[in-house]
Structure 1
Amino acid sequence: MKLPIKSTLAAILALGFAPALLAQSYPDRPIKVVVGFPPGGAADQIARLVTTPLAEALKQPVTVENRPGANGNIAGGAVAKSPADGYTLLMASGGMVSINPHLYANMPFDPVRDLTPVASAASVLVYLMARPTLEVKDAKALIAHVKANPGKLSYGSAGNGSSPHLAGEMFKAQAGLFAVHVPYRGAAPALTDLMGGQIDYYFDPGIGLQAAKSGRTKLLAVGSLKRSPLFPDVPTLDEVGLKGFDADSVFGFYAPAGTPPAIIERLHGEINRILETPAFKDRIHQLGGNPLVLTPAAFAAKITEDSQRFGALIKERGIKSD
């Protein structure tokens, strides 16, 4: 049976206005932020720094759900398959979006196609640290020492394909040296073995900063293009001579693809306001990172840039996932 012309037009208009109406009433129930890593890590802490003031701004509860595994792929896949209505968001590391597609032969989803960038949050730096008993005083001395002893020194990481691992491979490639990679299941056990002298150096994602301050590790350099506000006297590897060395990872919020632009805009605006607060900035600096405020377009461009940069490194060095 054919519908009357007026009824057909009404149905078409209703479909067209549905996203707009959804955005106008958003949010009218609790929002969930899925984190791809365990409680206590950088992604989890950043998410919780944002969700409490975000709940106040949106006048709805905003909860955090930790779903670790596969370097963030489990959480990313779950959010990618969620309804595109703004009630399920993802807090992800840059590695999940920019690195994983180059590491995993069978990705369960396409981060670029299936997720929409909402707001960047922070640039997470890595810090080149050496065991306290290693007789080097700075990064230049470490490079010279490793070059003089090829294959005799070891460096740890949070696992194959992790940001600290890629930083270590970038370090070897740019400095022209060889050291043995020792992958761990997380940054914490790698830090423990560094302090205990079982490995010689590693790139720390921020958890070892207190150990560096207390002398339990030697902080030699920052693997970023900018110095850390926490350690203004510690040079970057770019300054040391490894020009363009940049192993930063951008953490941020994502929504399922197809989420109405008005909802993305609302969330983007509220999150950016939180990022500009002294409380957020101070805490991110304490974690060893830098707050990062980008437009959605600039955030997407940064993801693409990092994907190209890390993808080339992964291919060149033959890096594989665990």
Structure 2
Amino acid sequence: MMGARRIAALALAALLPMAGLHAQEYPAKPVKIVVPFPPGGSTDVAARILAARLADEFRQPVYVENKPGAGTTIGAAYVASSAPDGYTLYVTGPITHASSQALYRKLPYDALRGFAPVGNMTVSPFIVVVHPASPAKSLKDLLEAARRQPGRLSYASSGNGAAPHLVTEIIARSAGVSFTHVPFKGVGPAVVALLGNQVDFMIADVAVVPQIREGKLRALALTTAAESALVPGVPSMAEAGMPGVDVPSGLALFAPAGTPEATVARINAAMNRALRDADVMQKFAMQGFEIQTGTPADLAAMMAREVERYGQIVRQTGIRID
């Protein structure tokens, strides 16, 4: 008669191939990508482009679900509380995600520990722009005017605590100057105010590139350490006289904390292949995005740095949302 230990061993051996098969089968059902903004914005468009290509990679439907509100924290909280099985993913900007930890006194999640980094998707500069009638022809001109008149120059942003607000404060503190912040409810109204010459400047994402090309806005500098093909000829921070300042924008993909490493690796590999697809690259370029791929470890390291950097600027300035 076969002993109990022998029977148990055979049963375990029979289960092991099943476990391996299960791991290889991901995804076995549709995958959802949560976007913490309304439909139609640049993050939403990028997520939908990626979702369409991932569906080919996974041979499963991949769809976008918008969960806007509360400065992206509604969408983030939803993802953080979702099952860590790889079927709920999250596309957001690393700056927004990292800064939420300091901007909100009470969050139902931890920006680092509540998520499994999957990988970077894009990188792009913010752009320092002024009205064409502005006397500032360079970033140096703008900063010198600010030194002569502390706090008098005003800048528009898409809202209190939004990424452009924080980035402007980082640059102001690096240069030893101060500005007056004029927050608006979204990028559109902020750009309209600058087009109307109601504020002195703003730091915006690549959404203002069309206005720059049409001569409706003048670009003084990029917030990154290197120039960008998106806006050729616009100097980097180093070229504009602020070496060491490098504040890029971008998008990244996350999963809930606890998602198996093998599943994260599978998603990362599929995403990187999707982002290197010529059609995807062209569509992203049309939206003003430069592709940036990498590993989960790359994104994890970047997020740790960003949480520290934006936590520091929030503490220094006292910026709060709640």
Distance in 1 (CA, whole Å) between partners of 2:37 and 2:13 is: 42
Over residues 94-123 of structure 1, what are the superposed CA-to-partner deviations in whole Å (9 max), with x where a residue is unaligned?
A: 134311101111111112222101121011
Distance in 2 (CA, whole Å) between partners of 1:316 and 1:223 is: 20
Distance in 2 (CA, whole Å) between partners of 1:45 and 1:90 is: 14
Query: 1:110 is matched with which residue?
Result: 110
The correspondence of residues 1-322 of structure 1 with structure 2, limited to 5 A, is: 20-321=20-321
Q: Flag the 1:109–1:131 CA change in 2: closer, same or farther, 3 A.
A: same
CA contact (8 A) 1:33 1:47 kept: yes
Q: Flag the 1:18–1:124 CA change in 2: closer, same or farther, 3 A.
A: farther
Amino acid at match of 1:314: V
- Secondary structure at the aligned position of 1:207 is classed as helix
Q: Flag the 1:13–1:38 CA change in 2: closer, same or farther, 3 A.
A: farther
Over residues 112-167 of structure 1, what are the superposed CA-to-partner deviations in whole Å (9 max), with x where a residue is unaligned?
A: 22210112101132100012221221211111222222222210111122110011
- Secondary structure at the aligned position of 1:85 is classed as coil
Over residues 221-256 of structure 1, what are the superposed CA-to-partner deviations in whole Å (9 max), with x where a residue is unaligned?
A: 101112111222110122212222122134111111
CA contact (8 A) 2:155 2:181 kept: yes
Q: Flag the 1:198–1:158 CA change in 2: closer, same or farther, 3 A.
A: same
**CA apart distance, 1:5:** 6.4
Q: Flag the 1:8–1:53 CA change in 2: closer, same or farther, 3 A.
A: same
Distance in 1 (CA, whole Å) between partners of 2:47 and 2:35 is: 7
Distance in 2 (CA, whole Å) between partners of 1:258 and 1:249 is: 27
**CA apart distance, 1:186:** 1.3
CA contact (8 A) 1:154 1:179 kept: yes
CA contact (8 A) 1:150 1:177 kept: yes
Over residues 297-320 of structure 1, what are the superposed CA-to-partner deviations in whole Å (9 max), with x where a residue is unaligned?
A: 111111111222222222222222
Over residues 201-226 of structure 1, what are the superposed CA-to-partner deviations in whole Å (9 max), with x where a residue is unaligned?
A: 00111111101111111111101112
Amino acid at match of 1:308: E
**CA apart distance, 1:92:** 1.5
Q: Flag the 1:92–1:18 CA change in 2: closer, same or farther, 3 A.
A: farther
Q: Flag the 1:255–1:240 CA change in 2: closer, same or farther, 3 A.
A: same
Distance in 2 (CA, whole Å) between partners of 1:20 and 1:318 is: 51
Percent identical residues: 35
Distance in 1 (CA, whole Å) between partners of 2:236 and 2:121 is: 22
Distance in 2 (CA, whole Å) between partners of 1:192 and 1:19 is: 57
Q: Flag the 1:321–1:20 CA change in 2: closer, same or farther, 3 A.
A: farther
Amino acid at match of 1:300: A
Q: Flag the 1:13–1:80 CA change in 2: closer, same or farther, 3 A.
A: farther
The two structures have a TM-score, normalised by structure 2, of: 0.91
Over residues 57-109 of structure 1, what are the superposed CA-to-partner deviations in whole Å (9 max), with x where a residue is unaligned?
A: 11111110111112221111111111111111111111343111011111111
Q: Flag the 1:21–1:141 CA change in 2: closer, same or farther, 3 A.
A: same
The two structures have a TM-score, normalised by structure 1, of: 0.91
Distance in 1 (CA, whole Å) between partners of 2:276 and 2:144 is: 42
CA contact (8 A) 1:33 1:65 kept: yes
Distance in 1 (CA, whole Å) between partners of 2:98 and 2:193 is: 29
Q: Give the gaps of 5 or more residues in structure 1.
A: none
Q: Flag the 1:190–1:32 CA change in 2: closer, same or farther, 3 A.
A: same
Number of paired residues? Answer: 319
Q: Give the gaps of 5 or more residues in structure 2.
A: none
Amino acid at match of 1:290: E
Amino acid at match of 1:157: S
Distance in 1 (CA, whole Å) between partners of 2:90 and 2:170 is: 28
**CA apart distance, 1:259:** 1.6
